[in-house]
Amino acid sequence: MDGKALKRTFSWRSHNIVKEKEFDFLLKKAVNLIDETQEPWKEKNFGRPPYPQKQMVAICLLKVYFGMPYRDIESMLRSNKSFQETLNLDHVPDHNTIQRAMGKIPLEYLQHLNGKLAMAFKKSDRTLPSMQLDLASGSSMNPGRR
């Protein structure tokens, strides 16, 4: 080389497209897997009608996989109409509702979904960031999980 530094360029546009496809793939696979499983917890028969459990599980999975705080996942859902459509949400739950749902999901249920999602990603030759589950405390290692 003639004294000039080799400059590497990074295509953020390509990066963003890949990430959008990754989000979309994860969400669609998660929704399909969640639909095949039983309800994760027993609902009470009083009070305001809750958001459907399976929708809340999908939202919580997104929160855990991408390490987002509850307020950020709420904002992301509000700003992304395609996520709302994929999750079949008429109204986006607020961060407190998402946090309460997260506290209700049994660890075994999350481990089962994590294993199935990992296999789906492996079969499609994609990389899925592992959901960090703390087996001793029965919670996720990511912030905000009780």
Domain map of the chain by residue range? 21-33+50-140
12-63 pLDDT per residue, tens = 888 777 777 777 788 888 889 888 888 887 777 777 778 888 899 999 988 8
Q: What is the DSSP letter of 89?
A: -
Model pLDDT, residue 5: 61
The residue with greater pLDDT, 48 or 134, is: 48
Percent of the chain with pLDDT strictly greater than 70: 81
pTM > 0.85: no
Residue 6 pLDDT grade (very low, low, confident, very high; cuts 50, 70, 90): low
